[in-house]
Amino acid sequence: MFDRLVQFCNVFEEFSTYVLQFGRRIRDAPETSTTSHMRLHTDKSLDFGYEICYNIKHFELHGRDLKDPWSCRHAAFYQRYSSAEHLSKWIIIQGPSKIQSLIERSISAQASVLPTHHEHPLYLHVQFIRLLERNWTSYLVSLEELRRKTSDKIIFLDSYDIPVELKDVHDIHNIQSKLRTAIVMIEGAISLINTIDRLCNLLQNHKNHGSKFHSPLDLLDLVVAELKQLLSIFQSHKRTASTILQSSEDVKVMILTAIAHRHNEAIRMHASSLDSFTVRASIESERRTEIAGKALLESHAMRIATLIIVFYLPLNLTTAFFSTNLITFQENGSMRIRKSIWLFIVAAFLVSGGTAIAFWIWKRTERVGRKNATP
């Protein structure tokens, strides 16, 4: 059906290329830049006509519950005008509803007045571009708000706890990607305005050379003035987008610097903690060495005490047992050792030796038990 429409209007091939681009679009970002083409038609009778086609991209609020409320839209326009018929043929693909309303109002206005009071055939292009330009300010403001939301996180750089992460770098990168796309689209719109302006100059030249191209209400000067105003507006949008892009780059550099500073600070604190841990470990090692030395001294003392206990106590007990019979006092005040003292010596030797043997067996059993318990 579309091929028949193109053949009926004798549309040149460039417009078909635009249409094919619609079918290749697979994501929200535009795959192609804004382009425009035109050609003139003249004959010996001084009848004059032209063809112009272009694709243009713009942003609209899609109204869905998504993170990004904006959607990149793509529209294509074709116009063929003949001065002999004073008639334009239009093909508009994926034009927004407000353009359709504009066309309906334009047709209604032309039907309600005298035929000699219709607008210049190029003026509709100006109105189309103006309608598609209205959302640019809001779109750029939304990107600036996203950039400022991220930049506000790094206002207080004197605070160690800077709430920035790599996710913020990713968000800034997405904003920059949208801004670069927006700048390309704005440059395409500027190129389109220049194309229409060149067509206006060609129409003016043919009119000055006696062409029959005219309109009873000649609005060519108005079209040129409107185009210059639109050109100024889009140039302002481009400067705004470029400024936001540069600011976002500064924010990204600051975020990366803050993350690097925090990383270096964490490394420094970790190194300081390791140094403190090493110092504490050294002090604890010295204390353990000191404790081990004291334990060794105490071990020697315990060994001496053990020897005293092992031999002294049996001797003391034996002496206490035989103390009343070993020595006797004579009437003249002298002492006499009884002959049964050998019993004391033998008993003391047996008791001390038995105690020492029992202590050795007990310690040996303890060492064997610890050795068996060790894996």
364: tokens are 């040996």
State the greatest distance between any 2 C-alpha atoms of the chain, in Å, as a whole number. Answer: 180
Q: Band of the pLDDT at 375, cuts 50, 70, 90?
A: low
Q: In whole angstroms, give the CA distance from residue 197 to residue 220.
A: 10
Cβ contacts of 19 within 8 Å, gap of 6 or more:
2, 76, 93
Please give the span between the terminal C-alpha atoms of the chain, in angstroms, as a whole number: 90
Does 206 have pLDDT greater than 60?
yes
- More confident of the two residues 114 and 96: 96
Q: Band of the pLDDT at 216, cuts 50, 70, 90?
A: very low
What is the Rg, in whole angstroms, of the alpha carbon atoms belonging to the chain?
Answer: 52
Does 116 have pLDDT greater than 90?
no
Asked if residue 73 lies in contact with residue 58, where contact means CB atoms within 8 angstroms, the answer is yes
Of 166-170, 192-196, 294-298, 359-363, which one has max mean pLDDT? 192-196
Among 30, 23, 18, 14, smallest CA distance to 186 is for 30
Q: Band of the pLDDT at 110, cuts 50, 70, 90?
A: low
Question: What confidence score (pLDDT) does residue 119 get?
Answer: 66
Tens digits of per-residue pLDDT, 49-95? 888 989 888 898 888 888 889 988 888 898 888 877 777 888 888 88
Instruction: Summarize the confidence of residues 299-306 as an average pLDDT.
Output: 66
Q: Give the angle 212-218-220 at the CA atoms, nearest 5°.
A: 95
338: tokens are 């009884």
Among 200, 223, 225, 217, smallest CA distance to 40 is for 200
Does 115 have pLDDT greater than 70?
no
Question: What confidence score (pLDDT) does residue 283 get?
Answer: 86
**Burial class (CB within 10 angstroms; exposed 0-12, middle 13-18, buried 19+) of 93:** middle
Question: What confidence score (pLDDT) does residue 338 get?
Answer: 60
Nearest-10 Cα torsion for 68, 129, 94, 35:
-90
Does 214 have pLDDT greater than 60?
no
Q: In whole angstroms, give the CA distance from residue 361 to residue 222.
A: 123
Instruction: Summarize the confidence of residues 244-270 as an average pLDDT.
Output: 85
Instruction: Summarize the confidence of residues 334-358 as an average pLDDT.
Output: 67
